[in-house]
Each structure stands twice: as structure tokens, then as C-alpha cells.
Amino acid sequence: MSIQVSRLTKRYGRQLAVQDVTFSVKPGEIVGFLGPNGAGKSTTMKIITGYLPPTSGTASVMDMDVVNHPMKVKRSIGYLGEHNPLYHDMFVHEYLNFAASLCGLRSTQKRTRVSDMIGLCGLEAEQSKKINALSKGYRQRIGLAQALIHDPAVLILDEPTSGLDPNQLIEIRKLIKAVSANKTVLFSSHILQEVKALCDRVLVIHHGSIVADDKLDNLMKGGDRTLTVAFMEDVNIDLLRQIPGVTSVKPDGRGKFLVMTSSDIDIRPRIVSWASANNLSLLEIKLEEHSLESVFSQLTQQETKGE
């Protein structure tokens, strides 16, 4: 396993940040780590990088325990922190050289890696500028470049796209996709489209516990589906409820109805035939895509109610 976390718990004083978290990431997998702010994503990642010690439980990277072999683990991890801390008064190439030296790269190897990373992350034109003169998008590229400088087997990216404009977002996403070809990536975010675009598997964490760990497609399957239906005429809502497969109907307040259905069966034909049988003119019928957002909010809200 590239990353193995078992029964991990972290307390900050009295506050429980991460509680009994267990998951593993196989080599070559790209895993999205989802959760609302403050759910424990960053804490879990910091423990995996060996920066924070766990209160209990274990974490290992490339089958090496992070507490017992911190140096070996740090050598095999590339980490991009949440706020992407950089030395703002350093030049780009100077900073990357420094990062490479810290990772133990020497002379020729260091030179080739630094110039490779500058090329890969599209920093050629900016390499002789000071970091504080660069935009957020470029800083994020520098952050990625330094995380990749020693060609680590495991990449840990903590919200790599937060605070970027839509164009930069797409560029950074492309870059992550490109560099992650033969690496294991654990990637945190609360932007759901991003996870959709990048990840094979999703871990959802809420209040310090894992509430879902599954393939993206599986998560999007099942559960309730919603149809938006609109008629020209006034409709008796109770008659609408009697259509087989409908679990509940709510007016949305603008003359439309939100029809909930529990099954995977498409009930649209039934509604259409029901409408013609009752001499109603159907204006609109739309099946809401079962979105990651709804799965996410369901998962994280259920948990809150359960407490």
C-alpha cells in the first residue's frame, strides 16, 4: 500500500480533530479527500507527512511508519500545504534549488530536476522573478514544482486549487492530472467538480470521521432522485402522489412540483401518461442529475443529525 492509515486519532488539547480514521490508498491511485472546512482533512494529511504526531493509531507511507521512519517517509512524499507557504523574497529557481537540496539532490541531478520541473510546471518565463512578484496561480505552480522536485512516489496535495480564478483552476487541474500519471495522489478539496474531474476514488470525512470511502460512480448511484415537473393547469397534488414510484411531492412555490422517487426506475413515462390521461398539458419534466453535491450534503448532514 502506498498510504495506509489505521485507527488514526488526533486531539488538539480537548478538541478531537480526527477520530478513528482508517483508509488505504493503492499505488497509482488518485484519491479525493472531501469534507467541509474543519472536518479534519488537513490534520490527517499533516500526520501522513510526519509533520504532526498522531495521538493514537498509525499511518504509514510506502509501508514505512511515519513516526518510526520520519526521514524515509518525508523523502518519498511530495507535499503541498493548504496555504502553500513560500519564501517570498527568494527567486523561483533559487527556491526550487533550495527545495531540491533539502530533499538531498546533488549537483547534476539537482540541476536537471529543477529545470525539468520549471518546464513541466510552465515556469520558464518566471524563473528569474521573485516569488512575491507572481500571481497566485504561478505560486501554486511553484508549490507543485517543489512537491515534485525529488520525484516522490506519493503526492499529498492539500486544497491545491483554493483561491484560484476559473482559468487558473483548469490549468492547475491539468497539471495535477499530468504529473500524477505514475504516482499515488491524495488530494483534498471541497470543490466537487474537481474531484469528479481528477479522482478515481473518494473519501468523505466529516467531524473527524470517514463517512464514505467508495468509487465515485458508486457514490453517485442510489439514493433519492428528484424530478422537476410543471403543468399549465392547476393540479391536485394528492393525485400526483398516487403515481407508482413517487415517494413525495412538494410544490416549489413557482408553480412547479418537485417529485421525489426512491428507485432507479425512470418514472418520467408514467408521469407523461398520467398527464395525458388527466387532460393536463405538461410544460416541463426534468430529471435532476444525481450530483456529487447532493451525495456530499446527504452524507455530511446525516452525520450531523445522528449526533
* Grid cell digits, residue 162: 483554493
Contacts of 179 (CB under 8 A, 6+ apart): 120, 144, 148, 155
Cα–Cα distance list, 257 to 230, 252, 286 (Å): 6, 6, 11
Member of 71, 125, 181, 277 binding another protein (CB under 8 A): 71
Best CA proximity match to 49, nearest among 34, 65, 66: 66
Least Å distance, CB 87 to another protein, is 6
Contact between 244 and another protein per CB under 8 A: no
Minimum distance from residue 71 beta carbon to another protein (Å) = 5
Does 49 sit near another protein (CB under 8 A)?
Answer: yes
Task: Please name the residues in contact with 49: beta carbons below 8 A apart, sequence gap of 6 or more.
Answer: 66, 73, 74, 77, 79, 156
Nearer to another protein, 65 or 224 (CB): 65
For the record, the C-alpha cell of 22 comes out as 482508517
Q: Which of 38, 63, 87, 119 binds another protein (CB under 8 A)?
A: 87
Among 6, 26, 68, 83, binds another protein (CB under 8 A): 83
The distance of closest approach from Cβ of residue 65 to another protein in the complex, given in angstroms and rounded to an integer, is: 15
Of the residues 99, 155, 202, 240, which one makes contact with another protein according to CB under 8 A: 99
Contact between 104 and another protein per CB under 8 A: yes
Task: Between 83 and 241, name the residue whose CB sits nearer to another protein.
Answer: 83
Going by C-beta distance under 8 Å and a sequence separation of 6 or more, which residues neighbour residue 165? 137
Question: Per CB under 8 A, does 66 bind another protein?
Answer: no
Q: Which of 16, 98, 129, 260 binds another protein (CB under 8 A)?
A: 98
Binding residues for another protein, rule CB under 8 A, total 24
Three-state SS string across 92-153, please?
A: HHHHHHHHHHHCCCCHHHHHHHHHHHHHHCCCHHHCCCEHHHCCHHHHHHHHHHHHHCCCCC
Query: Does 51 help bind another protein (rule: CB under 8 A)?
Result: yes
The one among 20, 65, 75, 258 contacting another protein by CB under 8 A: 75
- Residue 103, interface with another protein (CB under 8 A)? yes
Binding-site member from 23, 33, 79, 257 for another protein (CB under 8 A): 79
- Does residue number 54 form part of the binding site for another protein (CB under 8 A)? no
User: 8 and 47 in contact (C-beta within 8 Å)?
Assistant: yes
Residue 85, interface with another protein (CB under 8 A)? yes
- Determine contact, residues 175/144, Cβ cutoff 8 Å: yes
Q: What's the grid cell of residue 107?
A: 549537483
- Least distance between another protein and beta carbon 217 (Å): 33
Distance from C-alpha of 67 to C-alpha of 244, rounded to nearest angstrom: 58
Do 272 and 282 touch, CB atoms closer than 8 A? yes
Instruction: Give the residue among 215, 231, 246 at the shortest CA–CA distance from 280.
Output: 231
CB of 75 to another protein, least distance (A): 5
Q: Identify whether the C-beta of residue 276 lies closer than 8 Å to the C-beta of residue 268.
A: no
Q: Based on CB atoms, which residue is closest to another protein, 99 or 169?
A: 99
Minimum CB distance to another protein smaller for 75 or for 290: 75
- Binding to another protein by residue 86, rule CB under 8 A? yes
Interacting residue ranges for another protein, rule: CB under 8 A: 46, 49-53, 71, 74-75, 77, 79, 81, 83, 85-89, 98-99, 101-104
